[in-house]
Amino acid sequence: MQLIPQKDGTILTNGSGYHFMEIIGHRGARKEAPENTVESFIHAQNNGCFHFELDVRLSSDRSLMVYHDKTLKRTSGIKRKVIATSSKVLRHTDARFNTPGWPKPCYIPLLKDVVDAVPNTLSWQFEVKPDSHYNMKVIIKKLSHFIMKHKLNDKVVATSSSKWFLKEMKRFSPHIKTGYVAAHKLHRPVSTCIALDCDLLVLHEELISPSLLRHAELGSIEVSCWTVNELDRMMYLKELGIKSLITDIPTTAIKHFAKP
């Protein structure tokens, strides 16, 4: 089976039929540059990645920030919660503490900063982390407005492991695509995704199986998997028919598949 890279960052299978798989940069390019920073997304896009996943959290002044953890400790060495910190302070907080050797400061960005920095992006997964219902309600309103204002309806899937968030997002903005993030079989991923009326199932890669993919196909559910960093595993999942996979090494993966 031949894997053929495309200009849009997808990988095409040329075998018994044609099948595209999107290579999605995890938090930009998490193992290639400081995660969830503008620099990480630019690095990945400059090297051929046009599909991204990122994390959305609120600052103390209710701005949409791109950040994964609840606290700043892991990436900035600061014992402080993101929700307790203003966007002004966050945008001047260096987030490369866990990326040794990166030469220049990389600051925690607004969602707008990231989207503006990589205008050629073809698809986004905006993952909203579970939080209080009040905070998630704020995110739903702000995120819906952001997607509409920037005309991203056809490019964005709002994802979460929070069933409450997904239900409320669908109720508030039924035109925005949603995706259920599942890490365990006990979550009954496909059935739950269908019950939530989601468009996408974002599944931990260890849970992928031919039977699960058949179940998803019968329910008209698209499957994306995370986080896949082994090239052989990528090829196996590609052959199974995965539509997209999320990786910490998107530029490495794209370059690997581009080899003759």
Residue 259's pLDDT is 63
Domain boundaries, the chain: 2-55+124-257
Structure confidence at residue 257 (pLDDT): 76
- CA angle 185-66-234, nearest 5°? 45
Quick one: pLDDT at residue 219? 93
The reported pLDDT for the residue numbered 229 is: 98
Number of neighbouring beta carbons within 10 Å of residue 189? 24
pLDDT one digit per residue (tens) for the chain, 260 residues: 344 455 555 555 444 444 578 999 999 999 999 999 999 999 999 999 999 999 999 999 999 999 999 999 999 999 999 999 999 999 999 999 999 999 999 999 999 999 999 999 999 999 999 999 999 999 999 999 999 999 999 999 999 999 999 999 999 999 999 999 999 988 799 999 999 999 999 999 999 999 999 999 999 999 999 999 999 999 999 999 899 999 999 999 998 877 65
pLDDT at 109: 98
Find residue 125's DSSP bridge partners: 53, 157
CATH number, domain 2-55+124-257: 3.20.20.190
